[in-house]
Amino acid sequence: MADTRLRHPQYFNARRLLSQSHEQASDLELARSARAGDESAFEEIMRRYSPRVFRFASRFFRQRSLVEEAAQEVFLRAFTELDSFAGRGSMEGWLTRITTNTCLNLLRSAKRRPELTVSDLTEDETAWLDSIMSATATERHESSERSLVAADLTDRVLHTLSPDDQLVLMLIDGEENSVKDVVKITGWSESKVKVQAFRARRRMREAVEKLLRRKPKASATA
């Protein structure tokens, strides 16, 4: 049965005042309040960091439902592990680490797609490959429709790689993070990040090369 006090105007006023006081609170203060059972403190944490968590989870998943599922799992884990946030590092870093681990776990539990071949490409994807290969070096395409096709194709290629490969490629080659940034995000050693990135680039390049190989040379090198 719903608590009738929740509909009382005083309840809303109290909540508003509480959330106003939380807006000025530091991350550590919010974490302490949330640990003590203050739900509005945790809501403030979500308000501050959910855009970042969504943005990060979007690197791994292209369906909104999957991104939401991952983000929800991130905040549920964050809530249960609030004790482990001691304020030594930033809350953003702490949440990014949780997001990375959650997304990697979700990717690992998903079935890896088989190798992509030219015959698997849609007409739009083939047309996009043709156009990009005939364009100048790294020129971006303005058309959002084309971007969608490109993102779709990239996603299909990425899902033939391991979750760890996908992670380093998106972070270093996609978002242009430094190796040190990725060390902080993943908790891996610097050498592991470098080796993983090197191998992931090779595998990605080989996967793309296979797509280009059967294309007419004129369109691939123009």
Partner 1 sequence: MKDQHIISLIENTSFGSISEKDLQTIEAHAAECDACESAFAAARLASVMLRERTAETFEPSSFFQTRVMAHVRERQAANETWAWSRIWRSAGALASSMVAAVVALAVLTFVVPDTSINGDLVDASARNGYSVEEVILNPGDSLEEVSDGLILTTLYDAAEDTVK
| Sign of the torsion formed by the C-alpha atoms of 117, 110, 196 and 169 | positive
CB atoms within 10 A of CB 177: 17
Among 190, 206, 214, 218, binds partner 1 (CB under 8 A): 206
Burial label, 71 (beta-carbon count in 10 A; 0-12, 13-18, 19+): buried
Burial label, 215 (beta-carbon count in 10 A; 0-12, 13-18, 19+): middle
Q: Does 181 bind partner 1 (CB under 8 A)?
A: no
Q: Does 214 bind partner 1 (CB under 8 A)?
A: no
Among 27, 33, 41, 75, binds partner 1 (CB under 8 A): 75
Q: Does 170 bind partner 1 (CB under 8 A)?
A: yes
Among 2, 36, 176, 216, binds partner 1 (CB under 8 A): 176
The nearest distance, CB 20 to partner 1, in angstroms, is: 17
Among 18, 25, 46, 104, binds partner 1 (CB under 8 A): 46
Contact pattern from residue 83 through residue 122 relative to partner 1, giving x for each residue in contact according to CB under 8 A and a dash for the rest: ----------------------------------------
Which DSSP category does 110 fall into?
Answer: S
Burial label, 149 (beta-carbon count in 10 A; 0-12, 13-18, 19+): buried
Q: Which residue has the tokens 């296979």?
A: 210
Among 72, 101, 126, 162, binds partner 1 (CB under 8 A): 72
Q: Does 192 bind partner 1 (CB under 8 A)?
A: no
For partner 1, the closer of residues 24 and 144 by Cβ is 144
